[in-house]
Amino acid sequence: MATPLSAASFLDALLDEGLDVVEVGSWRTHNRNGKGPWGPVNGVMIHHTVTKGTAATVALCRNGHSALPGPLCHGVIAKDGRVHLVGYGRANHAGLGDDDVLRAVIAERTPPADNEATVDGNRHFYGFECENLGDGRDPWPEAQLLAIEKTAAALCRAHGWSAASVIRHLDWQPGKVDPRGIDWTKMHGRIAKRLGTKPSATPAAPPKKPVVDLSQLVAAARSNPAAKGTPVTYSGVKTVEAALVDAGLLSKKYSDGHFGTVTVDAYAAWQRSKAGGGYRGTAADGIPGKASLTALGKAQGFTVTN
């Protein structure tokens, strides 16, 4: 647990670790501090962006979008290994997560599987988005992996943390899969080696498959809630929307837990696809069915129940 570094100390920590840093605009004062507290900080969280192209990725992470204002992280780690600083302070990157995971990070031990979304992660974590499509096929160049290692180690070194203070988004929030494609046990070992310490004796826990209840999901889809000012009707919607994002059918900005018209259209596209069943006409109406949802879960890593 620690007071966040000053922006100057944050930058110095990255530079001292040998990183190639790009300062984007007024990143030092670009934040969401008016929406909630920033700190105490307890660790570093790594994400993938589901985007292609560094310039567009950096712009999105700096500015955000209509459903989620920027900054969406503190820094973007590009494929070439450069770290683009886009904001500092509270950033919209972590969302709500599991309090048991936070306690594990504070105690510097391997986190349990996440199954709750009750704690404000934007307050407690430095966040870095890594340029990657997140489909499990987009490669992670060594220059980018080295930058992730150095970035995490820089902040751990500055705060006196071990590698156990570095987690993935999927460790924190149910339904998340990022950063997909990184061998996390190996990455933890790299960070620990850079810090001159031994990695945890317990390997990183494999992500627990989220469970989506079909009947609750259908009820959420049929209620078609407006995104603004309307409570999320069923948390499993976020799991399905994340899967549609990873399938390339839904823009990440609409992955908000509300099964509105855009999500209905995206799910209808999944139903029409060969992988989703090849349905046509009213059978591809965007309201999930058992077969198409099971196929999506098999492809994207969640389990379906009735």
Task: Label the pairing between strands 75-77 and 68-69.
Answer: unpaired
Q: For residues 29 and 94, state if they share a domain.
A: yes
- Least Cα distance to 77 among 151, 135, 8 occurs for 151
User: CA-CA distances (angstroms) from residue 136 to 38, 48, 177?
Assistant: 32, 11, 10
**94-120 residue pLDDT tens:** 999 999 999 999 999 999 988 888 899
Give pLDDT, residue 251.
87
Residue 247 lies in a domain: yes
**C-alpha to C-alpha distances, 238 to 95, 96, 138, 250, 252, nearest whole angstrom:** 12, 12, 23, 12, 11
- Domain's final residue, options 133, 162, 195: 195
* pLDDT band per the 50, 70, 90 thresholds, residue 11: very high
Tell me which residue has tokens 């933890």: 188
Tens of pLDDT along 149-175?
Answer: 999 999 999 999 999 999 999 999 888
Query: Does some domain include residue 205?
Result: no
- Same domain, residue pair 251 and 284: yes
Estimate the share of the chain in helix, then strand, then coil, as percent rounded to the nearest 5. Answer: 40, 15, 45
pLDDT beyond 80 at 77: yes
Question: Would 201 be classed as within a structural domain?
Answer: no
In a domain, 149, yes or no: yes
In a domain, 64, yes or no: yes
pLDDT at 299: 85
**pLDDT of residue 49 exceeding 90:** yes
Q: Which of 195, 220, 248 is the last residue of a domain?
A: 195
Query: Is the pLDDT reported for residue 209 higher than 80?
Result: no
| Residue 227 burial (10 A CB sphere; 0-12, 13-18, 19+) | middle
In a domain, 206, yes or no: no
Q: Which of 195, 227, 252 is the last residue of a domain?
A: 195
**Residue 51: is its pLDDT beyond 70?**
yes
Q: Does residue 286 register a pLDDT over 80?
A: yes
152 and 265 assigned to the same domain: no
pLDDT of residue 282: 92
What angle, rounded to 10 degrees, do the helices at 184-195 and 142-159 form? 50
Residues 180-189: b if buried by 16+ CB within 10 A, e if exposed: bbbebeebbb
Q: Are residues 82 and 216 in the same domain?
A: no
Buried b (16+ CB within 10 A) or exposed e, 16-38: ebebeebebeebbebbbeeeeeb
What's residue 243's pLDDT? 87
From residue 196, alpha-carbon distances to 163, 190, 192 in Å are 10, 10, 6
| Residue % of the chain over a pLDDT of 90 | 74
Q: Is residue 204 classed exposed, middle or buried when 0-12, 13-18 and 19+ CB atoms within 10 A define those classes?
A: buried
How many structural domains does the chain have? 2
DSSP bridge partners of 303: 211
Q: Would you call 161 exposed, middle or buried from its count of C-beta atoms within 10 A (0-12, 13-18, 19+)?
A: buried
Alpha helices in the chain (DSSP H): 7-16, 54-63, 99-107, 121-124, 142-159, 169-172, 184-195, 214-223, 236-246, 261-272, 290-300
Least confident of 45-59, 116-130, 199-213, 249-263: 199-213
**pLDDT score of 207 more than 90:** no
Mean pLDDT of the chain: 91
> What CA–CA distance (Å, rounded) separates 79 from 42?
26
177 versus 6: the higher-pLDDT residue is 6
In a domain, 264, yes or no: yes
Confidence of residue 253 (pLDDT cuts 50, 70, 90): confident
Instruction: Give residue 203's pLDDT.
Output: 52
Secondary structure string (H, E, C) spanning 195-212: HCCCCCCCCCCCCCCCEE
Structure confidence at residue 210 (pLDDT):
81
Kindly state whether residues 35 and 85 are assigned to the same domain.
yes
Q: Which CATH number characterizes residue 147's domain?
A: 3.40.80.10
Res. 229: pLDDT tops 60: no
Model pLDDT, residue 254: 84
150 and 217 in a common domain: no
130 has pLDDT over 70 = yes
Give the domain range for residue 19: 7-195
* Adjacent-strand bridge partners of 77: 83, 130
| 147 shares a domain with 114 | yes
**Better pLDDT: 192 or 243:** 192
- Whether pTM > 0.75 for this model: the answer is no
Looking up tokens 């990695």, which residue turns up? 199
Secondary structure string (H, E, C) spanning 238-276: HHHHHHHHHCCCCCHHHCCCCCCHHHHHHHHHHHHCCCC
Predicted local distance difference test score (pLDDT) of residue 258: 84
For residue 235, pLDDT over 90 is answered with no
